[in-house]
Protein backbone atom coordinates (compact mmCIF):
# COMPACT_ATOMS: atom_id res chain seq x y z
CA UNK A 1 0.00 0.00 0.00
CA UNK A 2 1.37 3.43 -1.02
CA UNK A 3 1.85 5.61 2.08
CA UNK A 4 1.21 8.77 0.03
CA UNK A 5 -2.17 7.39 -1.06
CA UNK A 6 -2.92 6.68 2.59
CA UNK A 7 -2.07 10.28 3.51
CA UNK A 8 -4.44 11.61 0.85
CA UNK A 9 -7.14 9.24 2.09
CA UNK A 10 -6.63 10.40 5.69
CA UNK A 11 -6.91 14.11 4.84
CA UNK A 12 -9.99 13.51 2.66
CA UNK A 13 -11.63 11.48 5.44
CA UNK A 14 -11.08 14.38 7.85
CA UNK A 15 -12.21 17.12 5.44
CA UNK A 16 -15.03 15.37 3.53
CA UNK A 17 -14.16 17.57 0.55
CA UNK A 18 -11.95 17.02 -2.51
CA UNK A 19 -11.40 20.77 -2.92
CA UNK A 20 -10.34 21.26 0.74
CA UNK A 21 -8.09 18.23 0.54
CA UNK A 22 -6.36 19.57 -2.55
CA UNK A 23 -5.77 22.90 -0.75
CA UNK A 24 -4.35 21.24 2.36
CA UNK A 25 -2.02 18.97 0.37
CA UNK A 26 -1.22 21.51 -2.37
CA UNK A 27 -2.12 19.11 -5.16
CA UNK A 28 -4.86 19.26 -7.78
CA UNK A 29 -8.34 17.87 -7.20
CA UNK A 30 -7.79 15.49 -10.10
CA UNK A 31 -4.67 14.15 -8.35
CA UNK A 32 -6.68 13.62 -5.15
CA UNK A 33 -9.37 11.75 -7.10
CA UNK A 34 -6.78 9.66 -8.94
CA UNK A 35 -4.98 8.58 -5.77
CA UNK A 36 -8.23 7.69 -4.00
CA UNK A 37 -9.35 5.69 -7.04
CA UNK A 38 -6.01 3.84 -7.14
CA UNK A 39 -6.31 3.04 -3.42
CA UNK A 40 -9.86 1.73 -3.88
CA UNK A 41 -8.74 -0.41 -6.81
CA UNK A 42 -5.85 -1.80 -4.79
CA UNK A 43 -8.14 -2.71 -1.90
CA UNK A 44 -11.03 -3.89 -4.12
CA UNK A 45 -13.48 -1.80 -2.11
CA UNK A 46 -15.31 1.52 -2.14
CA UNK A 47 -13.97 3.87 0.54
CA UNK A 48 -16.22 6.92 0.02
CA UNK A 49 -19.81 7.64 -0.95
CA UNK A 50 -19.65 10.65 -3.25
CA UNK A 51 -22.39 13.27 -3.67
CA UNK A 52 -22.38 16.63 -5.43
CA UNK A 53 -21.77 18.46 -2.14
CA UNK A 54 -19.48 16.22 -0.09
CA UNK A 55 -17.92 12.82 0.33
CA UNK A 56 -18.59 10.47 3.21
CA UNK A 57 -16.75 7.40 4.43
CA UNK A 58 -18.26 4.00 3.77
CA UNK A 59 -18.11 1.36 6.51
CA UNK A 60 -14.99 -0.02 4.79
CA UNK A 61 -13.54 3.49 4.76
CA UNK A 62 -14.15 3.80 8.51
CA UNK A 63 -12.15 0.63 9.08
CA UNK A 64 -9.28 1.90 6.92
CA UNK A 65 -9.32 5.28 8.73
CA UNK A 66 -8.83 3.57 12.10
CA UNK A 67 -5.92 1.57 10.69
CA UNK A 68 -4.40 4.62 8.98
CA UNK A 69 -4.40 6.59 12.23
CA UNK A 70 -2.68 3.69 14.02
CA UNK A 71 -0.07 3.56 11.24
CA UNK A 72 0.69 7.29 11.44
CA UNK A 73 0.88 7.14 15.25
CA UNK A 74 3.35 4.26 15.00
CA UNK A 75 5.46 6.19 12.48
CA UNK A 76 5.59 9.13 14.88
CA UNK A 77 6.38 6.84 17.81
CA UNK A 78 9.43 5.59 15.91
CA UNK A 79 10.40 9.16 15.01
CA UNK A 80 10.11 10.23 18.65
CA UNK A 81 12.22 7.28 19.75
CA UNK A 82 14.91 8.18 17.23
CA UNK A 83 14.61 11.84 18.23
CA UNK A 84 15.56 10.92 21.81
CA UNK A 85 19.02 10.11 20.48
CA UNK A 86 20.29 13.66 20.04
CA UNK A 87 23.27 12.69 17.89
CA UNK A 88 20.92 11.35 15.19
CA UNK A 89 18.86 14.53 14.91
CA UNK A 90 20.00 17.15 12.41
CA UNK A 91 18.51 19.40 9.76
CA UNK A 92 16.27 22.46 9.55
CA UNK A 93 13.22 23.20 11.67
CA UNK A 94 10.88 26.13 11.00
CA UNK A 95 8.64 27.06 13.92
CA UNK A 96 5.66 29.38 13.76
CA UNK A 97 4.69 31.11 17.00
CA UNK A 98 2.06 33.58 18.09
CA UNK A 99 3.42 36.82 19.54
CA UNK A 100 3.27 36.02 23.26
CA UNK A 101 4.89 32.64 22.76
CA UNK A 102 7.44 33.88 20.25
CA UNK A 103 8.52 36.87 22.32
CA UNK A 104 8.27 35.65 25.93
CA UNK A 105 8.21 31.85 26.19
CA UNK A 106 9.75 29.92 23.30
CA UNK A 107 13.14 31.73 23.20
CA UNK A 108 14.02 30.22 26.60
CA UNK A 109 12.96 26.74 25.50
CA UNK A 110 14.86 27.04 22.22
CA UNK A 111 18.07 27.85 24.09
CA UNK A 112 17.80 24.69 26.17
CA UNK A 113 16.81 22.62 23.13
CA UNK A 114 19.84 23.78 21.13
CA UNK A 115 22.17 22.68 23.93
CA UNK A 116 20.85 19.14 23.54
CA UNK A 117 20.37 19.20 19.75
CA UNK A 118 23.17 21.40 18.37
CA UNK A 119 22.84 20.02 14.83
CA UNK A 120 19.31 21.34 14.32
CA UNK A 121 19.05 24.76 12.67
CA UNK A 122 15.93 26.60 13.86
CA UNK A 123 14.10 29.46 12.19
CA UNK A 124 11.19 30.95 14.14
CA UNK A 125 8.43 33.00 12.48
CA UNK A 126 6.39 35.19 14.84
CA UNK A 127 2.92 36.41 13.84
CA UNK A 128 -0.65 36.37 15.11
CA UNK A 129 -2.33 32.98 15.53
CA UNK A 130 -4.49 33.21 12.41
CA UNK A 131 -1.49 33.91 10.17
CA UNK A 132 0.60 31.18 11.81
CA UNK A 133 -2.07 28.57 11.04
CA UNK A 134 -2.14 29.76 7.41
CA UNK A 135 1.63 29.29 7.26
CA UNK A 136 1.23 25.78 8.64
CA UNK A 137 -1.39 24.99 5.99
CA UNK A 138 0.91 26.24 3.24
CA UNK A 139 3.86 24.28 4.73
CA UNK A 140 5.89 27.46 5.41
CA UNK A 141 6.35 26.25 9.00
CA UNK A 142 6.78 22.73 10.39
CA UNK A 143 5.22 23.35 13.80
CA UNK A 144 2.81 25.98 15.11
CA UNK A 145 2.59 27.20 18.70
CA UNK A 146 -0.41 29.38 19.40
CA UNK A 147 -3.00 30.35 21.99
CA UNK A 148 -6.40 29.49 20.59
CA UNK A 149 -9.51 27.54 21.47
CA UNK A 150 -10.24 26.88 17.80
CA UNK A 151 -10.11 23.33 16.48
CA UNK A 152 -8.23 22.53 13.28
CA UNK A 153 -9.39 19.08 12.10
CA UNK A 154 -6.62 18.65 9.55
CA UNK A 155 -3.92 18.92 12.23
CA UNK A 156 -2.94 17.32 15.53
CA UNK A 157 -3.40 19.75 18.42
CA UNK A 158 -1.83 19.28 21.88
CA UNK A 159 -2.05 21.39 25.02
CA UNK A 160 1.39 22.09 26.49
CA UNK A 161 1.03 25.11 28.80
CA UNK A 162 -1.60 27.12 30.70
CA UNK A 163 -1.26 30.89 30.94
CA UNK A 164 -2.88 33.51 33.15
CA UNK A 165 -4.24 36.77 31.73
CA UNK A 166 -4.05 39.87 33.93
CA UNK A 167 -5.52 43.36 33.78
CA UNK A 168 -2.83 46.04 33.69
CA UNK A 169 -3.08 49.79 34.20
CA UNK A 170 -0.71 52.77 34.15
CA UNK A 171 0.59 54.36 37.32
CA UNK A 172 -1.12 57.56 36.15
CA UNK A 173 -3.89 57.94 33.54
CA UNK A 174 -4.01 60.82 31.09
CA UNK A 175 -7.67 61.05 32.14
CA UNK A 176 -7.84 62.68 35.62
CA UNK A 177 -11.21 61.09 36.40
CA UNK A 178 -9.57 57.63 36.48
CA UNK A 179 -6.58 58.46 38.68
CA UNK A 180 -8.44 57.63 41.89
CA UNK A 181 -9.04 53.96 41.06
CA UNK A 182 -7.28 51.44 43.26
CA UNK A 183 -6.20 47.86 42.74
CA UNK A 184 -9.72 46.44 43.02
CA UNK A 185 -12.28 47.56 40.45
CA UNK A 186 -15.91 46.68 39.83
CA UNK A 187 -17.15 44.87 36.71
CA UNK A 188 -18.72 48.18 35.58
CA UNK A 189 -15.33 49.88 35.84
CA UNK A 190 -13.77 47.20 33.63
CA UNK A 191 -16.29 48.11 30.93
CA UNK A 192 -15.89 51.86 31.50
CA UNK A 193 -12.12 52.26 31.51
CA UNK A 194 -10.49 52.87 28.10
CA UNK A 195 -9.26 49.51 26.80
CA UNK A 196 -6.20 48.83 24.64
CA UNK A 197 -6.43 45.43 23.02
CA UNK A 198 -4.96 43.16 20.34
CA UNK A 199 -6.30 43.21 16.79
CA UNK A 200 -8.98 40.89 15.37
CA UNK A 201 -7.41 37.59 14.27
CA UNK A 202 -5.14 37.54 17.29
CA UNK A 203 -5.39 34.43 19.46
CA UNK A 204 -5.09 36.67 22.52
CA UNK A 205 -8.07 38.77 21.40
CA UNK A 206 -10.14 35.65 20.71
CA UNK A 207 -9.36 34.10 24.10
CA UNK A 208 -10.03 37.36 26.00
CA UNK A 209 -13.45 37.71 24.39
CA UNK A 210 -14.32 34.07 25.07
CA UNK A 211 -13.12 34.24 28.68
CA UNK A 212 -15.10 37.43 29.33
CA UNK A 213 -18.22 35.78 27.90
CA UNK A 214 -17.67 32.76 30.15
CA UNK A 215 -17.60 35.18 33.11
CA UNK A 216 -20.89 36.85 32.07
CA UNK A 217 -19.25 39.91 30.46
CA UNK A 218 -20.21 41.15 27.02
CA UNK A 219 -16.90 41.89 25.20
CA UNK A 220 -18.80 44.20 22.83
CA UNK A 221 -19.36 46.52 25.78
CA UNK A 222 -15.65 47.05 26.36
CA UNK A 223 -14.60 50.65 25.88
CA UNK A 224 -11.99 49.82 23.21
CA UNK A 225 -9.94 52.92 22.44
CA UNK A 226 -7.03 51.37 20.61
CA UNK A 227 -6.20 48.13 18.78
CA UNK A 228 -2.53 47.21 18.42
CA UNK A 229 -0.74 44.30 16.76
CA UNK A 230 1.83 43.35 19.37
CA UNK A 231 2.31 43.06 23.10
CA UNK A 232 5.17 45.54 23.42
CA UNK A 233 3.12 48.32 21.78
CA UNK A 234 0.23 47.59 24.13
CA UNK A 235 2.47 47.80 27.20
CA UNK A 236 3.95 51.09 25.99
CA UNK A 237 0.49 52.55 25.36
CA UNK A 238 -0.70 51.53 28.81
CA UNK A 239 2.45 52.91 30.46
CA UNK A 240 1.83 56.25 28.74
CA UNK A 241 -1.56 56.46 30.49
CA UNK A 242 -3.86 55.81 27.53
CA UNK A 243 -5.85 53.06 29.22
CA UNK A 244 -5.88 49.53 30.58
CA UNK A 245 -5.34 46.19 28.89
CA UNK A 246 -5.70 42.46 29.43
CA UNK A 247 -2.43 40.73 28.75
CA UNK A 248 -0.42 37.56 29.42
CA UNK A 249 1.13 37.56 32.89
CA UNK A 250 4.41 36.16 31.53
CA UNK A 251 4.77 39.11 29.17
CA UNK A 252 4.43 41.78 31.85
CA UNK A 253 6.35 40.40 34.85
CA UNK A 254 9.26 42.82 34.43
CA UNK A 255 7.03 45.91 34.28
CA UNK A 256 5.04 44.83 37.35
CA UNK A 257 8.26 44.20 39.25
CA UNK A 258 9.64 47.63 38.31
CA UNK A 259 6.28 49.32 39.06
CA UNK A 260 6.06 50.92 35.62
CA UNK A 261 2.66 49.21 35.38
CA UNK A 262 0.22 48.03 38.02
CA UNK A 263 -2.22 45.15 38.14
CA UNK A 264 -5.98 45.56 38.60
CA UNK A 265 -8.34 42.91 39.95
CA UNK A 266 -12.05 42.34 39.38
CA UNK A 267 -13.49 40.20 42.15
CA UNK A 268 -14.46 36.76 40.89
CA UNK A 269 -12.88 37.28 37.45
CA UNK A 270 -10.15 34.76 36.64
CA UNK A 271 -8.85 34.74 33.08
CA UNK A 272 -6.80 31.82 31.80
CA UNK A 273 -5.90 30.46 28.39
CA UNK A 274 -4.14 27.45 26.94
CA UNK A 275 -1.15 27.27 24.64
CA UNK A 276 -1.12 24.52 22.00
CA UNK A 277 1.33 22.83 19.69
CA UNK A 278 -0.27 22.19 16.29
CA UNK A 279 1.25 20.15 13.50
CA UNK A 280 0.65 17.81 10.58
CA UNK A 281 1.20 14.36 12.05
CA UNK A 282 1.74 12.81 8.64
CA UNK A 283 4.59 15.11 7.64
CA UNK A 284 6.46 15.53 10.92
CA UNK A 285 10.24 15.63 10.46
CA UNK A 286 12.72 14.15 12.92
CA UNK A 287 13.75 17.62 14.21
CA UNK A 288 10.04 18.45 14.56
CA UNK A 289 9.40 15.28 16.56
CA UNK A 290 12.37 15.94 18.80
CA UNK A 291 11.28 19.52 19.54
CA UNK A 292 7.71 18.46 20.33
CA UNK A 293 8.96 15.81 22.75
CA UNK A 294 11.36 18.32 24.30
CA UNK A 295 8.86 21.14 24.86
CA UNK A 296 6.15 18.86 26.27
CA UNK A 297 8.67 17.35 28.70
CA UNK A 298 9.98 20.84 29.54
CA UNK A 299 6.58 22.02 30.79
CA UNK A 300 5.34 18.75 32.33
Domain limits of the chain? 3-81, 91-161+276-298, 162-273
Backbone angles phi, psi at 196, to 5 degrees: -110, 125
Answer for the pair 292, 143: CB distance below 8 angstroms, yes or no. Answer: yes
| 3-state secondary structure (DSSP) of residue 243 | coil
Q: Are strands 91-97 and 245-248 parallel, antiparallel or unpaired?
A: unpaired
For 162-273, CATH gives: 3.40.190.10
How high is the pLDDT of residue 11?
86
The low-confidence residues of the chain, meaning pLDDT below 70, are 80, 82-87, 149
The predicted structure's pLDDT at residue 242 = 94
Q: How many residues does the chain have?
A: 300
Q: Note whether 280 and 156 are within 8 A (CB).
A: yes
Say what the pLDDT of residue 246 is: 94
Show the CA angle centred on residue 215, arms to residues 213 and 218, nearest 5°: 40
Strands (E), the chain: 48-50, 55-57, 91-97, 120-126, 143-147, 156-170, 184-185, 194-198, 223-228, 245-248, 261-266, 271-279
Same CATH topology for 3-81 and 162-273: the answer is no
Going by their DSSP bridges, the two strands 245-248 and 143-147 should be labelled as unpaired
278 dihedral zone (left: phi>0; alpha: psi -120 to 50; beta): beta
CB-CB contact of 234 with 188 (8 Å): no
Choose among 157, 122, 131: nearest CA to 287: 122
Q: Report the SS3 class of residue 220.
A: helix
Q: Is the separation of the CB atoms in 123 and 135 below 8 Å?
A: no
CATH number at 91-161+276-298: 3.40.190.10
- Fold entry, domain 3-81: Arc Repressor Mutant, subunit A (1.10.10)
Amino acid sequence: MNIDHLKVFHVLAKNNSFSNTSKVLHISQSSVSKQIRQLEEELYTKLFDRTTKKVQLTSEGEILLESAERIFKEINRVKNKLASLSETVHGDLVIGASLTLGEHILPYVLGEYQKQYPNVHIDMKVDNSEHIIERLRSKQVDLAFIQSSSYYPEFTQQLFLEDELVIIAPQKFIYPEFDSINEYITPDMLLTLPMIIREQGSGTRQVIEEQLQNNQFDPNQLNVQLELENTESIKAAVESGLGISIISKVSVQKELRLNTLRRLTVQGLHLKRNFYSIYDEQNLSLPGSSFLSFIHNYYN
